[in-house]
Structure 1
Amino acid sequence: MQIYRVDEPRLGALRVREWRHRARHALALLLLLLTVVATGLTLLDDSKAPLPTKVFHALWDGVNLVTTLGDFSDFDERQKFFMLAAMLATMLVAAFAISMLTGLLSGDDVMVYRENRAMERKLERLSDHVVVVGFHGLGETIAERLRAAGETVLVLAVDEAAANRASDRGHLVLLGARDVFDDVMRRAQLERAKAVIVTSPDANDNLVITLMARTMNPSLTIIVPGENDLRKTLLKTAGASEVVIAEDLLASAILDKLTLHTKVAP
């Protein structure tokens, strides 16, 4: 999936922060246990070895205990009793750590958080791309043809189904509801985009989006469909570079076909 959700659930970030907080606590407990074990083994070491050597051997045995490798040097009775207690403490700390950390990072909200962080890095590097607003009918066809021509396409969508469909087709996607669409536009890197093609089915949305895009990048190429000459004038005033009226195109295509058949008729 290549979807950035502007209105991402905050719970995902909270879960990740909580997991990191608990992981630090678990690590601190393990380090404390290692320190206690190393200190105890050093104090119980009656050999004639120098203190640094005793400390090193104690640390070695402590790390083996914490990592469950089990490679211990020969112990006397006191050291064995101490290590039994240390083993029990290690199992308790490990069980506590597992209970704290398990499951926190498996929720859908955490997956969304991770996906957003990965998409943020992609969006930061994005440039010379074509932004297609909407992925229904016209927008989907345009995005597919642009991608086939080798263009990098960023789709802006307001509903989950369209966003998933665009992502499945290999497009980068920004998803956000209408009430946060200004945030969607801000994250689309319009200052580095090649063009914006607005294909929303709502004429008023097209007008607003055109105005926002022109405000964000005064030199951007913006292409918008229009319903009539009045709407074309409004879109041009809002900043559209080109306004395409579907009925004009359809009429021209029909007349071209008529002319072609008339010329070749016997």
Structure 2
Amino acid sequence: MFRVDEPRLGRIRVREWRRRVRHTLGLLLLLLGGATTGLIVLDRSNDSFLNRLFTALWDGVNLVTTIGDFAELNERQKVFMLLAMFATLVVGGFAVSKLTGMLSGDDVMAYRENRIMERKLEQLANHVVVVGFHSLGMLVADRLRDAGQLVLVLVGDEGQAERAADHDHMVVLGSPDAFDDVLKDARLDSASALVVTTPDSNNNLAITLLAHTLNPALPIAVPGENPLRKGLFENAGASNVIIGDVIIADALVDKLTNRVEATT
């Protein structure tokens, strides 16, 4: 699910987590450098400087990574390493207290989901966009999917978004006030068709007009209540306007006609 109104707190938390990770890594590198320098200074062996540097660096890395495979240390180095170990515990405690749990909140999960969906939307093409996921939108989206079409559902309600996701549809969610942005994120430029199914006729008319403006060549199907509304939708850019009462009446008459003919 892609949320147009992405929770800002999720982005803030991720940025803060990254900042704290950088600080933690900086402290560990500082600790490594301090431990290496201290061990070299306290090394009283007759080895070459490169050997002493390597040994000190080896012990410093083991200290920071808590592996514990240290070289042989003299008394001064052992005292120094005790202090360095204490500093490592302090840095480790800082990392645990500052980083643990920051990325497990719902806002962070929504942020991550948005990043994944952004990549999917960028590659989306030849898909059918279905606006709304009430009873009609659900039937249309499910039947299109069963027919092998790639479906993208656009909704302005959290409940509809969750139902559409439960039906394994790709979903773009945005508040009604931000639905212009929802349509812009639906890749109408590369879509094969748009089906508008919300129960609000005025809302359907506005969506049809905006979608036609974004892509004048896009086939748009929308339900209409009467011939007047049909004309309005066609003027707004709809290529197929379906009047439900007409279809129901035709179906009922066909059923009755067929039954009468069968009995005569």
TM range (shorter): over 0.9
Once the two structures are overlaid, the 10-residue window that deviates more, 170-179 or 97-106, is 97-106
- Structure 2 matches for 1:50-65, cutoff 5 A? 50-65=48-63
Paired residues, number: 264
2:112 equivalent among 111, 114, 120: 114
Decide whether the 8 Å contact of 2:129 with 2:153 is kept in 1.
yes
Decide whether the 8 Å contact of 2:43 with 2:74 is kept in 1.
no
Q: Structure 2: which amino acid aligns with 1:224?
A: V
What is the match of residue 201 of structure 1?
A: 199
- Structure 2 matches for 1:11-90, cutoff 5 A? 11-90=9-88
What is the match of residue 133 of structure 1?
A: 131
Residues of 2 paired with 1:240 and 1:162: CA distance? 24
Residues of 2 paired with 1:190 and 1:244: CA distance? 21
| Structure 2 runs not aligned, ≥5 long | none
Residues of 2 paired with 1:150 and 1:57: CA distance? 64
Q: Structure 1: which amino acid aligns with 2:57?
A: L
What is the match of residue 140 of structure 2?
A: 142
Decide whether the 8 Å contact of 2:35 with 2:60 is kept in 1.
yes
Residues of 2 paired with 1:224 and 1:141: CA distance? 14
Q: Structure 2: which amino acid aligns with 1:119?
A: M
User: 3-state DSSP class of the match of 2:195?
Assistant: strand
- C-alpha deviation, 1:263, in angstroms: 2.0
- C-alpha deviation, 1:238, in angstroms: 0.2
Q: Which runs of 4+ in 1 moved over 2 A?
A: none
Identity %: 60
User: 3-state DSSP class of the match of 1:110?
Assistant: helix
1:186 equivalent among 184, 194, 201: 184
What is the match of residue 220 of structure 2?
A: 222
What is the match of residue 151 of structure 2?
A: 153
- C-alpha deviation, 1:229, in angstroms: 0.5
Residues of 2 paired with 1:42 and 1:144: CA distance? 70
Q: Structure 2: which amino acid aligns with 1:202?
A: D
Residues of 1 paired with 2:66 and 2:218: CA distance? 62
Residues of 1 paired with 2:73 and 2:54: CA distance? 15
- C-alpha deviation, 1:91, in angstroms: 0.3
TM-score scaled by length of structure 2: 0.98
Cα RMSD (Å)? 0.8
